[in-house]
Amino acid sequence: MFRFISLALALALAQLLTAPVGATAQSLQNILQTHQDEVLKPGRRTVSVVLDDLVASGLPQALPFLEAWRDREIVQRTSDGLFFRATGEGASFILRDLDTDVALDGAEQLDMKEARPNGGVRRAIGDALVQFRLSDPDIAKRQSAVEAIARSMEASQLALLVGSIETEADPAMKKVKIRLAGMLGALFADTIAARITAIEGLTGDLSVDVRGALNTVLTSTPQVSMALPEDANIAAVLAIGEDISAVEAYDRLVSADLAPTLILNNDIHTALVANIQGDAVGGVPVAALDTDAARQVAYDTLAADGIVLARVTPDAQAQAVAAHIFYLQYSETNPAITDVARKVLTAIETKVAVNQSIDLGLDALSLASIYFLAAIGLAITFGVMGVINMAHGEFIMMGAYTGFVVQQFVVDYTLSILIALPLAFAITFGAGVAMERLVIRHLYHRPLETLLATFGISIALQQLAKNIFGTQARPLTSPDWLDGALVFNDVVAISYIRIVIFVLALIFLFLILYVLKRTRLGLEVRAVTQNPGMAASMGINPDRINMLTFGLGSGIAGTAGVAIGLYAKVTSEMGADYIVQSFMTVVVGGVGNVWGTLAGASLIGFLQKGIEWLNPSNTLAAQTYMILFIILFIQFRPKGIVALKGRMAAD
């Protein structure tokens, strides 16, 4: 007896010593041994028992086990029934303990049984993984779990998500979880009061997914009946002729088996052909069946004899439609839930509309800034000097290419932009001075010759740019701190590049105003513009002032080209994209007035964005409408928005 007891104790000790590390009452292995059959041959209905125990255990090693089980890496050793994770290929595996992840000795494949969950089981395992990942220390895995829930939006996920909110340490992630829990609660909360509270908690959220969740609550289906059912949650009663046509209403009656199918002309023709007897059908000679009325008479005769279905007359159709009520019925049966959802969604949509208007205004302001930058140099050369410079766009192009060349040598994009701005001004200032000295000064007060000459120069400059840089668009890379956008909410956002362009436009505005109003050069420019002879008698050199003024306008265009190049493509033809808008901006705003140029840029920018919003599918049509509007505007106000006064205006 003693020897028997000793042998039993020895066997028990041997089992303890040979058991895997961690296979205690709280081990993962212990749970799996309880559900051997379900783990090895899981089914869609039986796997939930295993998953519930794994989730309830709270064991950290349950997560890697679920991942391995889903990926079919779990095997059972036939000798002792223990489960392991098997890695490796070929005839032997490397086994890893599921509790400690310690690698054990390899085992022959014949000594192993593989757990092979099917597609349905793997999806169930995936849902369990989401629960584990919601509280994973790695924020990337928590983010992945939240995104998975947002994609599927199932009722079973609500409790899991809510349970992970209290332990969430990251404030941003916690906010996302609370928001997602609100959407799930609006759809799947256990009680009506909880659903209403969740829906009210979504008030003011402008995101698309929140609106989608509320629209899901407010999903309705078209219904028809003799009278409105008392227990139905009615979304709307449809008025015939306003909400629904009479034809569509009758089609719904036919679909609901509440009215006979209409007999169409093709059906009448087929029936008549099938019932021809001799040279007549339905008592009507075949030769006389050359009108719809005759064919209908023959068909009605066949219907009276019971040969074909009777034709539904228009009066019968109208009576059938009038005898029924057509309405939309909510899929959600509780009116309290749909009422609060409709109220919250209406408030959100109103707020979305307001924010869309603000976003459209920011886009228009950004476009106006671009047009102002492109036109401000022309406001000097054309508006002040009266020179029609068709090569103005090419000075913009030269400035953009200057920025591109600088970036080939200065890899710091912030520094390269800071270098390119003054360098572009210097290069285009010099090019403008050379153009004025060589061509423009010989053509003052000869607008047609000036237009043709500058147009030829613009073509030459475009071809020169093609020869140097090629026809492919060149990138002008913005600094990293200009990437992204300033986001106010899910509707309103503006890119940092557009903000910088707006700031540059303001800088150019005040800089030119300062030069023209507060400096000697500005005083001399205004004097020469208003009365060259009187200015010359006062010791001012009109030729020198014209040269500097034209150079200043060209230099500003080149500097603007660097800013525009950060936003638009840099090609040899980019100047042509802005020359028309630049002239329109100056003319509409008021020739010879910087404030007028600002007003013109604002009008054109807001007008173009407004037309594009009304007709978003056709930008070419939007530009056409804009030009027509401007032509009409000039007819009523030929001097522009801000008209000059005094002698200069008379000239």
DSSP 630: H
- What's the pLDDT score for residue 354? 92
Per-residue pLDDT for 47 more than 60? Answer: yes
Give the torsion through C-alpha atoms of 587, 589, 591, 596, to 10 deg. -160
- What's the pLDDT score for residue 350? 93
**Tens-digit pLDDT profile for residues 433-476:** 999 889 888 888 888 888 899 899 999 999 999 999 888 888 88
The residue type at 222? P
Phi then psi dihedrals of residue 328, to 5 deg: -105, 130
Per-residue pLDDT for 67 more than 70? Answer: yes
Per-residue pLDDT for 486 more than 60? Answer: yes
- What's the pLDDT score for residue 108? 54
- What's the pLDDT score for residue 464? 92
- What's the pLDDT score for residue 643? 62
- What whole-number percentage of the chain has pLDDT above 70? 91
> What is the DSSP track for 406-460?
HHHH---HHHHHHHHHHHHHHHHHHHHHHHHHHTGGGSTT-HHHHHHHHHHHHHH
Number of H helices, E strands in the chain: 27, 12
Q: Is 199:337 a contact under the CB 8 Å cutoff? A: yes
3-state per-residue secondary structure call for 535-552: HHHCCCCHHHHHHHHHHH
Choose between 338 and 65: higher pLDDT: 338
**Tens-digit pLDDT profile for residues 191-211:** 999 999 999 999 988 888 899
Separation of alpha carbons 220 and 214, rounded Å:
12
- What's the pLDDT score for residue 5? 34
Separation of alpha carbons 328 and 345, rounded Å:
18
Beta-bridge partners for 86: 95
**pLDDT-based confidence at residue 384 (cuts at 50, 70, 90):** low
Q: Is 427:606 a contact under the CB 8 Å cutoff? A: no
Nearest to residue 182, comparing CAs of 341, 306, 412? 341
**Tens-digit pLDDT profile for residues 77-118:** 887 888 888 876 655 567 888 888 888 765 555 577 888 888
Over the chain, what is the mean pLDDT?
82
Separation of alpha carbons 540 and 529, rounded Å:
12
**Tens-digit pLDDT profile for residues 356-378:** 999 999 989 988 888 888 888 88
Separation of alpha carbons 498 and 368, rounded Å:
11
Q: Is 603:588 a contact under the CB 8 Å cutoff? A: yes
Cβ atoms within 10 A of the Cβ of 354, count? 13
**Tens-digit pLDDT profile for residues 552-565:** 888 988 998 898 88
- What's the pLDDT score for residue 313? 82
Separation of alpha carbons 286 and 130, rounded Å:
74
Per-residue pLDDT for 68 more than 50? Answer: yes
Beta-bridge partners for 223: 327
Beta-bridge partners for 237: 327
- What's the pLDDT score for residue 343? 94
Name the helix (H) or strand (E) containing 76: strand 74-77
- What's the pLDDT score for residue 82? 86
- What's the pLDDT score for residue 92? 59
- What's the pLDDT score for residue 431? 93
Per-residue pLDDT for 648 more than 90? Answer: no
> What is the DSSP track for 131-142?
HHHTT-SSHHHH
Using left for φ > 0, alpha for ψ between -120 and 50, and beta otherwise, residue 477 falls in beta
Over residues 514-535, mean pLDDT:
80
Choose between 251 and 522: higher pLDDT: 251
**pLDDT-based confidence at residue 542 (cuts at 50, 70, 90):** confident
DSSP 288: G
Separation of alpha carbons 326 and 121, rounded Å:
44
- What's the pLDDT score for residue 183? 92
Q: How far apart are the first and last CA of the chain?
A: 131
Over residues 5-28, mean pLDDT:
41
